[in-house]
Amino acid sequence: MALHLHRAERTDLLADGLGALLADPQPDPFAQELVLVAARGVERWLSQRLSLVLGCGPGRADGVCAGIAFRNPQSLIAEITGTLDDDPWSPEALAWPLLAVIDASLDEPWCRTLASHLGHFATTDAEAELRRGRRYSVARRLAGLFASYARQRPGLLAAWLDGDLGELPGDLAWQPPLWRALVTTVGADPPHVRHDKTIARLRDGPADLPARLSLFGHTRLACTDVQLLDALAVHHDLHLWLPHPSDELWRALAGFQGADGLLPRRQDTSRRAAQHPLLETLGRDVRELQRALPAARATDEFLGATTKPDTLLGWLQADIAGNAPRPAERSLSDADRSVQVHACHGPARQIDVLREVLLGLLEDDPTLQPRDIVVMCPDIDTYAPLIVAGFGLGEVAGDCHPAHRLRVRLADRALTQTNPLLSVAAELLTIAETRATASQLLNLAQAAPVRAKFGFADDDLDTITTWVRESNIRWGFDPTHRRRYGLDTVVHNTWRFGLDRILTGVAMSEDSQAWLDTALPLDDVGSNRVELAGRLAEFVERLHHVVGGLSGARPLVAWLDALATGIDLLTACNDGWQRAQVQREFADVLARAGSRAAPLLRLPDVRALLDAQLAGRPTRANFRTGTLTVCTMVPMRSVPHRVVCLVGLDDGVFPRLSHPDGDDVLAREPMTGERDIRSEDRQLLLDAIGAATQTLVITYTGADERTGQPRPPAVPLAELLDALDQTTSAPVRERILVTHPLQPFDRKNVTPGALLGAKPFTFDPAALAAAQAAAGKRCPPTAFISGRLPAPPAADVTLADLLDFFKDPVKGFFRALDYTLPWDVDTVEDSIPVQVDALAEWTVGERMLRDMLRGLHPDDAAHSEWRRGTLPPGRLGVRRAKEIRNRARDLAAAALAHRDGHGQAHDVDVDLGDGRRLSGTVTPVFGGRTVSVTYSKLAPKHVLPAWIGLVTLAAQEPGREWSALCIGRSKTRNHIARRLFVPPPDPVAVLRELVLLYDAGRREPLPLPLKTSCAWAQARRDGQDPYPPARECWQTNRFRPGDDDAPAHVRAWGPRAPFEVLLGKPRAGEEVAGEETRLGALAARLWLPLLAAEGSV
């Protein structure tokens, strides 16, 4: 028995060699072959590849892969060390006794550093609770470090047990006594002792394993793994099937084989033997593996080189295999697209580009099938939703894009992404650890299992969102829930506060001027929504109960029971597999902890534990199913495919960021053969380059999708581009690197040869149509309409329509067309209001003012607003409420002084001539006067409705003395402004003029913005130049918005339209003496009668 080493540049050659070996049967026909593979994706591919060799008839591919057990190396090591069912030194199991040791040692002098980190000496309860909540995560991290020491540097732990600290830095001196205490607590042979005993046992006699074993596809093995394999080869035939990119490099490193694997990495000179730049920068793992392998082996077989295509990719692979760039007499042809690098604007555009590239490859080569393509990306969870949206939606999206006809299989995603019940479990833990904000609970209510449980339809969720926003729910279930934040005296803006408002609104209206304790009825709960309010209350109450159970300190089993109960209370699911998977995952967590899970845990501990349990892990069934496979970089790392696509090789994302662990002894002086995730990712890229047999496609973010700022590629990708420049006689970077435009409908995408090849880049018919439209004749922006619309029939006019129109004449034009203008979307806020801005002050003040005018006492009006939850909590809110109340009280007092008794309603029906009438109701009227009041600073939009009502009353009863009083805040602080108007001499003529403006404004947007036109008219009346004040009111500046910023004006004349758009010549019939502009003529017709009728108060 011996160790046999088989090497090849690609794993398909290794698989064929393995197949030839397995085709030679063992003496026992029932004996199983054992093959150890690095990843599940490799296992699936290897079994399919072997089925083309084993059991095949002559010249046929009808074989079968049977009698072979595929396992990962760790399961074999666990079996031969006797820890297959229970390994007390695995990081998951070791965390529990380590947690107990830490708790028992916090007062030990050597443990002071760790005790301080865990809050043992904290001076405040809040700090202590925060730090103690990280106990499990710290124990799990330290357990991982000890397991890493045992696997990669076992002599270190042996020395610590013997009291030899070596050159251990002083800040890590607490680790050896912690390790010794842990060994005593566990009570089993420490891993290095167990390892030595296993080595001795394997050398003394054969293990209960097949006589022939194979280890397939590894590029890195820990030193303990190599020692075990070496010992296993004493009584077994052990075949190592290693993918190695260069036989030349292997032979150049022959002097390093069998060398001591614990050489400090900074002293390793093997990189000097790598003459090809990619072998030097990306191939450290395979160089260090060669150093670690035993020198004594029966076979060291190179299975031969593959035939490289005469393309850029083939040349690169040949140079890597030859360990030297050989650019002489190589010239890249225009048709060679074997290596493609695409710089895009963000992840979404990368997926856009990827599907166009794949469709192009499939179209160019009819023999290429989706199963021949693999897509790998470092961050699968970021790209998975984009891939789902971009591919495989043929039945849903129809013929929008040909890529939707491609079926895609996503592998190794997090369980929370595939099982909605586990996603709910993760959200419950998040809510329990945070503040239970409005958006968090609304997001949870959107989850499909929660919707099914409580019957929330789409309309229901929209209504609930409106209720949450209008009842001012922000965060926290109730004041008790806020206690840990020091706000247990503040009931406002909690879910209890908002639900009380909603449920009270079922039986009472806000106008009733009554409340129950702190609950002011919410006015928006209709009789048809009573049942929905009850379901919402039940959802929140159940969630509050569940979150209450996810607190405190308790054993692991109690935490999992509480979480399972919460899932049952909040979800309904018809798919039994989802609930079964939840139970299976929770049972697995308990099984791994075993009898050691007695220590009390806090919520952060449980979150850290379950985050690791629910992370993505590949399954065999997700790979090689005949569809286009999308996975992370590991599972299919060296499996040959005709097309290999690497997506998301962004700077800062690839290689993975390696945050140094200050407690890691190995990181202080790393040795060769020890794991480095950044080096591992670089090796993955080198493996992917070798796995592509026809085309290598790489995408990355080359520019920011918002600013357009250029962004560099990931460093390994930049090194690949540099190596490609050295592969041919002339640099090729500019020819293989395609910089894509921001939008998929850019004309470059549809112009043949503009981006890639001689054909249009995109296959999207919608992008083609959009690009054609964008490439059409470009004209300067025009007005919203080129001319006036036909005049509407001369019909009667209602007073309400006239008043609505003159609130904003341009908006009135769009209203007549039933045209919806853009509006600001009200969002759900998660923060308690701590200040009252100008808009919020107006809203609060206007409500207080209306309440006082209805007879509510000013203090009661302030109390109502306090119960609404719009004011800051505590003294800050009380002070602001008093300020606003006092201003509103003064305004109400000024108005009530002129409002004698209850206002009356006056019906009007005025003959305008030409068969038209104006009808409606003016209310309230107090004697012969209308009294309007607003909390705002008195502006043209406030006095114009009062003027129209006054003119209408005077036209209806011309013999009576009428007046209109407008009251509001003055431009000077805390003063009251009053404006009094008397009827014009001919009110019917004024009404006719207003109706003519109304008719004209329904045919076109009138250049009659209220503030701007009023400023013009006032300047004319005062004999001043009207241009400066009108221009100032029109133009927006950094201190205030102007009329040009109004949505209706933006739609009619464009954003930030110049003042000159208002200054055209008057139309026929609009002329006014002394006015040469249309703005001036219309302003004079609207405002001069009003200004002339203004009297003194």
Confidence of residue 38 (pLDDT cuts 50, 70, 90): confident
Q: Is residue 554 pLDDT above 80, yes or no?
A: yes
Confidence of residue 590 (pLDDT cuts 50, 70, 90): confident
pLDDT tens readout for residues 386-396: 998 888 776 66
Q: Say what the pLDDT of residue 242 is.
A: 94
The correct CATH number of 91-187 out of 1.10.3720.10, 1.10.10.160, 1.20.1070.10, 3.40.710.10 is 1.10.10.160
Instruction: Delimit the domains of the chain by residue range.
Output: 3-83+197-304, 91-187, 339-413+623-658+673-740, 416-613, 1007-1097
What percentage of the chain exceeds 90 in pLDDT? 55
> What's the rounded mean pLDDT across residues 86-106?
89
Closest CA to 414 of 423, 406, 405: 423
Cβ atoms of 647 and 713 within 8 Å: the answer is: no
CATH homologous superfamily of 416-613: PCRA; domain 4 (1.10.486.10)
With tokens 């919410």, the residue in question is: 522
Cα–Cα dist 678/688, whole Å: 15
Please, which residues bridge with residue 917 across strands?
A: 911
pLDDT one-digit tens code per residue, 305-330: 778 899 999 999 999 999 999 888 89
Residue 861: per-residue pLDDT: 85
Closest by CA position to 847, among listed 725, 943, 977, 936 = 936
Q: What is the CA radius of gyration of the chain?
A: 39
User: Does residue 583 carry a pLDDT above 80?
Assistant: yes
Q: Say yes or no to pLDDT of 58 above 50.
A: yes
Share of the chain above pLDDT 70, in %: 96
For the stretch 805-835, pLDDT in tens is: 999 999 999 999 888 887 767 788 999 888 8
- CATH architecture for segment(s) 3-83+197-304: 3-Layer(aba) Sandwich (3.40)
Residues 6+ apart with CB under 8 A from 135: 99, 102, 103, 118, 599, 601, 602, 605
* Structural contact between residues 693 and 314, judged by C-beta atoms closer than 8 angstroms: no
What does the pLDDT read at residue 280? Answer: 95
Question: Whole-angstrom Cα distance, residue 420 to residue 570?
Answer: 12
pLDDT higher than threshold 60 for residue 501:
yes
Residue 927, Ramachandran bin (φ over 0: left; ψ between -120 and 50: alpha; else beta): left
Report pLDDT for 621. 44
- Could you tell me the pLDDT band of residue 234, with boundaries at 50, 70 and 90? very high
What is the number of H-type helices and E-type strands within the chain? 45, 20
pLDDT at site 626: 63
Give per-residue pLDDT as tens, 273-282.
999 999 999 9
Question: What would the two tokens of residue 938 be?
Answer: 């008195």
Q: Residue 261's pLDDT is what? A: 55
Which tens digits make up the pLDDT trace of 9-37? 999 999 999 999 998 888 887 888 999 99
Q: What is the average pLDDT across 70-74?
A: 88
How many CB atoms are located within 10 Å of the residue 234 CB?
16
pLDDT of 566 above 70: yes
**Distance separating alpha carbons of residues 992 and 962, to the nearest angstrom:** 19
Name every residue whose Cβ is closer than 8 Å to that of residue 502 and which is 6 or more positions away in sequence: 467, 471, 522, 525, 533, 536, 537
Average pLDDT over the chain reads: 89
Q: Which residue has the higher pLDDT, 866 or 509?
A: 866
pLDDT at 213: 93
d(CA 597, CA 590) in angstroms, rounded, equals 8
The pLDDT score that the predictor gives to residue 623 is 53
pLDDT at 183 over 90: yes
Residue 225 Cα to chain centre, angstroms: 40
Cα(780)–Cα(159) distance, integer angstroms: 81
219 pLDDT above the threshold of 90:
no
Per-residue CA distances from 522 to 466, 492, 796, 839, 863 (Å) = 11, 14, 39, 21, 15
pTM confidence score: 0.81
Q: Structure tokens of 707?
A: 């600013």
Q: Just give the CATH number of 339-413+623-658+673-740.
A: 3.40.50.300
Is the pLDDT reported for residue 646 higher than 90?
Answer: yes
Same fold, 3-83+197-304 and 339-413+623-658+673-740: yes
Q: Mean pLDDT highest for which of 373-382, 598-607, 799-808?
A: 799-808
User: Which of these, 979, 948, 919, 950, lies nearest to 797 by C-alpha position?
Assistant: 919
pLDDT at 39: 83
